[in-house]
Amino acid sequence: MENKKRIVVFASGSGTNFINISENIINGQVVLLVSNNSKCGAVDYAKNNNIDYQIINDFRYPENRNKEYEIVLNNYQPDLILLAGFMKKIPDNIIQLYRNKIMNIHPSLLPKYAGQGYYGIKVHEAVIDSKDKVTGVTIHFVDNKYDRGPIIMQEEVTINDSDDANILSKRVLKSEYSLYLKVVELFCNNKIKVDKNRVVINE
């Protein structure tokens, strides 16, 4: 295990992407879950599977909250940080410390349906309302603007005429599982580089 990349996952909800990566990653190891929600499914999974977890929210040491993230991460020395349905903006100090080592998954083909307020089912509702024929999944590195960091990989999902937001979300989620795992494995195998804000993948 000493050669595996150390992965920290941030999640606020059910944590299905966190669970999928934890159970299927080959060349990485999830060493910590960070959440702002002590009662979420992701925390339950961490507890039941002997994965360390830390709860960081707005109510503990609010004046030092950004520093708290830094202290927690320093204790685990992650090679990669994954956002998996984390409902808080990552502090700028963490983005600077872990530049091009923080990934996020977004349930649309960025730059469409991006920014504050576009998350989860809200994205799929907007896609359905737009009458688009294609949507998809985007994995990107995180910078200090919502959903605007360098795109690593995208995958299209066809929208059927009979789809509503809930039906579409289930199909998009299947793509999320496979694409996020693929990208994380590529990173763990040192196949992903960033050159002048452009992602280069050597598969």
Residues identified as active-site? 106
DSSP letters for the chain:
-TTSEEEEEE-SS--HHHHHHHHH-SSEEEEEEEES-TTSHHHHHHHHTT--EEE--TTSSGGGHHHHHHHHHHHH--SEEEESS--SPPPHHHHHHTTT-EEEEESS-TTTT-STT--THHHHHHHHHHT-SEEEEEEEE--SSTT-SPEEEEEEEEPPTT--HHHHHHHHHHHHHHHHHHHHHHHHTT-EEEETTEEEE--
